[in-house]
Every structure is written in C-alpha cells, then in structure tokens.
Amino acid sequence: MEYGDKAQVLFSKLKSKHIVGAEGKISMELLDLSININDKSAVGDLLQEWLGAWMKQNGIYFRTDPNTQVFPDYYLGISNKADLLEVKTFDYNETPNFDVAPFDAYVDSLKTKAYRLDADYLIFGYTLKNDVLTIGDIWLKKIWEITCPARELPLRVQRKRGKIYNIRPYNFKNNSAGFQPFRSKAEFVDAIKGALAQYPMRTEDPDSWVDQVQESLAGYNSSL
C-alpha cells in the first residue's frame, strides 16, 4: 500500500517516539480550579489538536483550512490536492465506530474533488480510565482499507428510516471474520455506485457519477 510520503514520515515518527502505550491526562483550568477530564466525548477533537502541536514541535510541516469543519483535518504539503490527512479516533476497548465521512457530502465532493480518495487516515485507538488517557494503537490507512460491504448495501453505512447519514468503518482493529475491507480504490468507488443504485433518496445515475469521478481523477493524473 502506497501511503503519502509525508503521512508515512509522520506515522513512523509517532511510532519511533513510542506513541503506542503512551499515557497522559486531559485537564481544564478555570477560576484557579483545575480538573482532570474523564469524558470521552472531547477526546477526538483534543487528540487532533494535540497532533497539530506535536507536529509543530517536531518540525513537521502542516497547515489547516480556515474553516476547521471541512475536509481534510490537515494538509501535510503545499498542494490542496495531495498529502491530505484525516484524523480519526475511537475507544480501543470497542470496535471502531467513528464516522468515516458524511455520505451525501462525500459522494458529491468526489465528482469534482476525487483526489480526496487518496487521502491518508491516521487513526488513534485510545482508552480513558481514572483520568488516564492511554494510546492503545495507531494505524495509517486508506479509505478503502477501513470500509467494507454490508448485508443491506454494498457499503457499510449508518442508515435511519431509509436515509443514509455516514459511511461507517470496517473492524480493522481485529480483522474479524465476515465482511472484509475493499481491496482497492476502484472497489470502494464501485461500492458507492452500488449503494447509489439502491438508494431512492438520490436520483442521479450511478454510472454518470462514476464517469464524473473518473474525469476528476484524470484531471490530477490519477485513476481508479
């Protein structure tokens, strides 16, 4: 698997600094009162912010979009179409359950920004117990390596009352039996196409969608 060179450097450096097994605490101070945080709801955002500070400390170039809510979390180079890094987190005691991407927004974006398919995903598995945050493991993955088919659709998603909300991950932590991850970018795109064909809330032609994705990829010398 060919990950982005800059993402691979970052991943290797984190490993060399023994991030796996590292322990820390999350605290807040206000009005001369300091407390340790034991609530998991904030861990994802805080680990992402910590990573930015750590990259700065270690001389690793990165930048962010002024709109912090847009994809990706970090640019590791000067191009807006390469070296894209998304940061994901999950409770290491559980199976990965984070949202990979909002389905509609991601599918629409690929029609003109298909370079997003080549983004790297840096994933932290953590535990938080008795005020101690521990990194259980980290992974560097491509989106097709953390997604898989499902019984209802060719792509595992979060769906409520027929509406698809988010693309959901494969259990890459344990490589469990059952549905396996996609083997390539092409397989992942084909799974989205299959999901679109079975999703009446979107009326576009799935084949036309794939054509637009391929045209977008060709625009920056990539392909399925």
Measured between alpha carbons, how far is 148 from 168 in angstroms, rounded to an integer?
A: 8
pLDDT band at 119 (very low <50, low <70, confident <90, very high): very high
Altogether, the residues listed in the chain come to a count of 224
Average pLDDT over residues 90-118: 96
pTM equals 0.95
Three-state SS at 133: strand
3's enclosing H/E stretch is: none
The pLDDT tens digits of the residues spanning 71-103 come to 999 999 999 999 999 999 999 999 999 999 999
pLDDT at 1 exceeding the cut of 60: no
pLDDT band at 222 (very low <50, low <70, confident <90, very high): confident
| Distance linking the first and last C-alpha atoms of the chain | 14
Measured between alpha carbons, how far is 103 from 198 in angstroms, rounded to an integer?
A: 14
Measured between alpha carbons, how far is 155 from 205 in angstroms, rounded to an integer?
A: 17
The pLDDT tens digits of the residues spanning 143-201 come to 999 999 999 999 999 999 989 999 999 999 987 767 899 999 999 999 999 999 999 99
In 3D space, the residue among 113, 106, 223, 89 whose CA is nearest the CA of residue 169 turns out to be: 89
Pick the range with the lowest mean pLDDT from 8-12, 72-76, 200-204.
200-204
Q: Which pLDDT does position 177 carry in this prediction?
A: 66
- Cα 80 to the chain's mean position, in Å? 17
Three-state SS at 135: strand
Measured between alpha carbons, how far is 51 from 183 in angstroms, rounded to an integer?
A: 29
